[in-house]
Amino acid sequence: MTQRKRLSNVQNSSQSKRQSNSFMTQEEDEDATFTQPSTSQVQRGLEKLTPAQVDQKTAEVVQYILVKDQKKIPVRRADLVKHVVKDYRTVYPEIIKRAMRTFEQVFGLKLVEIDSKNHMYVLVNNLDASTARPSPVERPSNPKMGLLFVILSVIFMKGGVVRENLIWNTLKKLRVDPGQRHEEFGDVRKVITDEFVRQRYLEYVRIPHTEPVEYEFRWGQRSDMEVSRAQILEFMGQLHEQDPRSWTQQYREAHSAATASSSQASSSNHR
Amino acid sequence: MVSIKKQNKTGKQCKQSDFCPRVAEWTWKPLEKLSVAFKQSLFCSRLEMRKARAGGDDEAVRQNGSSSRRRTDQHPGDGEDHDSSSGGVQDDDDDNDLGLRREIRSKYRDLINSVQQNREDMLSPSNNKLTEVLEEANKLFKDVRQAREAALDAQLLVVATDLGKEKASQLFSEGSAFDPTAFAEHLLSFMGLNRLEDEDDEPPNGCAGDGYLPKDAWHRLARRAECCFRTAPSFHYMMGSFYTEPPPPKQRIERQRKAPSKEAKRIMPTQLKKMEESHQEATEKEVERILGYLKSYYQDDPSPISYYEFVIDPNSFSRTVENIFHTSFLIRDGLARLKLDSDKLPCIEPVEEGELEAAGSFSRKQCIVSISPKIWRELIDVFEIKETIIQPPETQSE
């Protein structure tokens, strides 16, 4: 693996210049402690370090992200730089690029920046779940995913934004009451409005001009990356015994997949 | 806001136009998001109101007479009869009528409250309550002369347009509608709800409806939903990792166990020592006794005594073995001597007092004596041993 990396490093050195250039122009730096190094700085930094050192640092970054992703809370660039990259910050873009490549080639995961303003990364499965065969390892299912699925489906079918009361009422019909302690989920309100929001599965936004204060739910940035609207619609069709196409608006939204996900992501950033 | 002030100072009525200056710029943005149809209806109603007012008060009364009620009622979208008919009340006289100002302000506040409290009601596409509220606001506005009231009017408009935006979003879904209640019902069936008839015992999670959700209901749903998610699998070591928690409790247990065991041990040794002492004493006493027998016998007859005759007790095999055992101590300690006589039979004789020290320098020879009941009986027959030399001990402490 390292040998391959060294070879590819030599081959791609010219490519890396071009790539880090585009990488640079895309993001404005908001982080006070970390300034994105310029391309020439990166090049100079790379010259000073041996390939083995850069590989080592990449491996550390990969391991850090893997462990941090256990809780599904996005990894902040500031934390990454402070705790792992440290002195190698001059070659940070190169390290991230290699880490992304490692994730893709070794683990079949994708390291995605879900928030270009605050620089947060999440790991998403690169393999297509719907066509994948059932996993050979019996993994216990997480019931919170079921809960999240219900909320996301309702939001999606209702056009992308939903008042919190609708969600609470729907959940009450499913025997999940935010006022009571649920035997599977515990403090339901906390799980939904705090945990899922911190994991960026949901957005919990205050509706302006409401008295008393009310909130609305939207899809979070992680959901935009991870969740397939088309699959949700399929499941809806199965449940209601209807053709998914009968929900024309949602169907259109789900199947203009590329444009839908990117537009959602950009619009959520502007909010 | 500034433009409104100016108009009021001059005391003129607000000019009729499609774009009412009341709808100040900062409320225009929410309106932009409304569907075109709704926007048109909103302004049409305003235009109608203005035309109606211009045309005469009677029309205005007729239009709103049906929906008007007492002011004290909290019912949405209602105002008072006499307000709409007071189309003629205007101008400078009102500026200083504090009572009227307060009235207008409180009516505005009522309208705002009604919109906020009855949101669900107003959102329902089956009625036009929102339009009625706006019409009411229109009526109130013509009496507005001061900034305070205008501010309340603007606030009402903001609230109403928010509601309007939501109402417009309800028009969003073409195709078949999505009903969350039906969705919930289908989900319950999917999760394996047992729709039992209500019996005496309450279902554990029975806040609504009947039926009993199985324990793995949410797991079932999660498994089905997995294919919709492209979650990265969580990283974990296959063999697990070191546990950090168990050791502290273990130490406590050990300490607790150690305390009683020490005490037990303390008790044990004292007992054991007593036992051992008694054993040792018994053995030593026996050995000395046998030595006494040996010496007394030797004094009577100074020739070596046949070993077999000495140790064998014809009455008891076990005592014979004990005698052999005790005799061996004598020989070990050099207090007696075993040798073979002319017949190659072993015989035993005590060692003289003076020879004791020399006995230690002799090379030690060891032999193992074994005896079985058969041999013992044979010996008794051969040597014709009738009685035992070594008397059995009086105390039978074994």
Please give the full DSSP string across chain A, using - where no structure is assigned. Answer: -HHHHHHHHHHHHHHHHHHHHHHHHH-----SS--PPPHHHHHHHHHHS-HHHHHHHHHHHHHHHHHHGGGTPPEEHHHHIIIIIGGGGGGHHHHHHHHHHHIIIIISEEEEEEETTTTEEEEEE-S-TTTSPPPSS-PPP-HHHHHHHHHHHHHHHTTSEEEHHHHHHHHHHTT--TTSEETTTEEHHHIIIIIHHHTTSEEEEEPTT-SS--EEEEE-HHHHHHB-HHHHHHHHHHHHTS-GGGSHHHHHHHHSHHHHHHHHHHHHHH-
Which of A129, A149, A177 lies at the terminal end of a domain, its last residue? A129
Nearest one of A265, A252, A268 to A216, comparing CA atoms: A268
User: Is residue A268 assigned to a domain?
Assistant: no
Same domain, A105 and A167: no
Same domain, A42 and A125: yes
Same domain, A143 and A223: yes
Same domain, A51 and A94: yes
* Secondary structure (3-state) at B58: helix
Residue in A102, A174, A249 to test binding to B, most B beta-carbons within 10 Å: A174
- Taking an 8 Å cut-off on Cβ atoms, the answer to whether A170 and B228 are in contact is no
A126 contact residues in B (CB cutoff 8 A): 230
Which of A100, A129, A158 lies at the terminal end of a domain, its last residue? A129
Q: Nearest residue on chain B to A63, judged by CA atoms? A: B235
- Taking an 8 Å cut-off on Cβ atoms, the answer to whether B222 and A175 are in contact is no
Residue B356 confidence (pLDDT) above 60: no
User: Is residue A212 assigned to a domain?
Assistant: yes
Which of B172, B181, B222 is facing A142, going by the closest CB pair? B222
pLDDT, position A129 = 62
Higher pLDDT, B316 or A22: B316
- Taking an 8 Å cut-off on Cβ atoms, the answer to whether B228 and A248 are in contact is no
Minimal Cα–Cα distance from A61 to chain B, Å? 14
Same domain, A175 and A214: yes
Which of A72, A141, A172 is facing B226, going by the closest CB pair? A141
Q: Where does the pLDDT of residue A105 fall: very low under 50, low under 70, confident under 90, or very high at 90 and above?
A: very high
Same domain, A148 and A210: yes
User: Is residue A234 assigned to a domain?
Assistant: no
Tokens of A28: 């404005």
B230 contact residues in A (CB cutoff 8 A): 124-129, 225-228
Q: Where does the pLDDT of residue B280 fall: very low under 50, low under 70, confident under 90, or very high at 90 and above?
A: low
Residue A76 confidence (pLDDT) above 70: yes
Q: Where does the pLDDT of residue A271 fall: very low under 50, low under 70, confident under 90, or very high at 90 and above?
A: very low
Same domain, A207 and A219: yes
End-to-end Cα spacing for chain B: 119
Q: Where does the pLDDT of residue B196 fall: very low under 50, low under 70, confident under 90, or very high at 90 and above?
A: low
pLDDT, position A8 = 42
| Best-predicted range by mean pLDDT (A218-222, B50-54, B125-129) | A218-222
A107-129: average pLDDT: 84
Minimal Cα–Cα distance from B3 to chain A, Å? 24
Same domain, A167 and A143: yes
User: Is residue A5 assigned to a domain?
Assistant: no
Same domain, A87 and A166: no
User: Is residue A169 assigned to a domain?
Assistant: yes
CATH number at residue A96: 1.10.10.1200
Number of domains in chain A: 2
CATH number at residue A159: 1.10.10.1210
User: Is residue A122 assigned to a domain?
Assistant: yes
B184 contact residues in A (CB cutoff 8 A): 170, 173-174
pLDDT, position B216 = 81
User: Is residue A100 assigned to a domain?
Assistant: yes
- Taking an 8 Å cut-off on Cβ atoms, the answer to whether B225 and A146 are in contact is yes
Residue in A62, A104, A122, A141 to test binding to B, most B beta-carbons within 10 Å: A141
Higher pLDDT, B240 or B63: B240
Same domain, A122 and A43: yes
**Structural domain containing residue A89:** 38-129
Cα distances from A75 to residues A81, A200, B192, B221, B291, in angstroms, run 11, 11, 38, 29, 94
Same domain, A116 and A140: no
The complex's ipTM?
Answer: 0.71
User: Is residue A147 assigned to a domain?
Assistant: yes
Which of A107, A180, A247 is facing B178, going by the closest CB pair? A247
Same domain, A161 and A202: yes
Which of A101, A129, A157 lies at the terminal end of a domain, its last residue? A129
B100-116: average pLDDT: 87
